[in-house]
Amino acid sequence: MSEQEVKNLEEIFEARIARDEKIEPKDWMPEKYRKTHIRQISQHAHSEIIGMLPEGNWITRAPSLRRKAALLAKVQDEAGHGLYLYSACETLGISREEMYEQLHSGKAKYSSIFNYPTVTWADMGAIGWLVDGAAIINQVPLCNTSFGPYARAMVRVCKEESFHQRQGYEIMLTLCNGTDEQKEMAQDALNRWWWPSLMMLGPTDAESVHTEQSMKWKLKRKSNDELRQQFIDQTVPQADILGLTIPDPDMKFNEETGHYDFGEIDWDEFWQVVKGHGPCNKERMKARVDAWENGEWVRDAAMAHAEKKANKKVAKAS
Partner 1 sequence: MKKDLYNYILGIADNSLILAQRLGELCGHGPSLETDIAITNISLDLLGQTRSYYQYAAKLAGEDKTEDDIAFLRIERDYKNVLLVEQPNTHFGHVMARQFLFDVYHLMLMEQLQNSKDETLVAIAKKGIKEVSYHKRFSSDWVKRLGDGTEESKEKMQEAINAMWRFTDELFDVMEADKAMIEEGIAVDVSKMKETYYEKVSEILEEATLEVPERKYFTRGGKKGVHTEHMGYLLADLQYMQRTYPNMTW
Strand partners, 254: 259
CA separation for the pair 174, 24 (Å, rounded): 45
Tell me how far apart the alpha carbons of residues 193 and 247 are, in angstroms, rounded to a whole number: 10
Of 34 and 183, the one with the shorter C-beta distance to partner 1 is: 183
* Total Cβ atoms within 10 A of residue 96: 15
Q: Which is nearer to partner 1, 12 or 291 (CB)?
A: 291
Query: Smallest gap, in angstroms, from Cβ of residue 279 to partner 1?
Result: 18
Report d(CA 113, CA 51) in Å as an integer. 8
Contact 224, 202 (CB under 8 A): yes
Q: Quote the least distance from Cβ 117 to partner 1, whole Å.
A: 15
- Count Cβ neighbours within 10 Å for each residue of 197-214 and write b for 16 or more, e otherwise: bbbbbbbeeeeeeebeeb
Residues that bind partner 1 (CB under 8 A): 49, 52-53, 56, 59-69, 72-73, 75-76, 79-80, 82-83, 86, 121, 171, 174, 177-179, 181-182, 287, 290-291, 294-305, 308
Radius of gyration of the chain (CA): 22
Residue 69 or 215: the one with the smaller Cβ distance to partner 1 is 69
| Residue nearer to partner 1 on the CB measure, 52 or 127 | 52
For the CB of residue 78, give the shortest distance to partner 1 in the complex, in Å: 9
- Distance of closest approach, residue 120 Cβ to partner 1, in angstroms: 10
List the alpha helices (DSSP H) in 57-114. Answer: 65-90, 96-104
Instruction: Indicate the residue among 16 and 183 with the shorter CB distance to partner 1.
Output: 183
158, 152 Cβ separation under 8 angstroms: no
**In the complex, least distance from residue 213 CB atom to partner 1, rounded to whole angstroms:** 30
Instruction: Give whichever of 15 and 303 is closer to partner 1, judged by the CB atom.
Output: 303
What is the identity of the amino acid at 115?
N
CB of residue 65 to partner 1, shortest distance in Å: 5
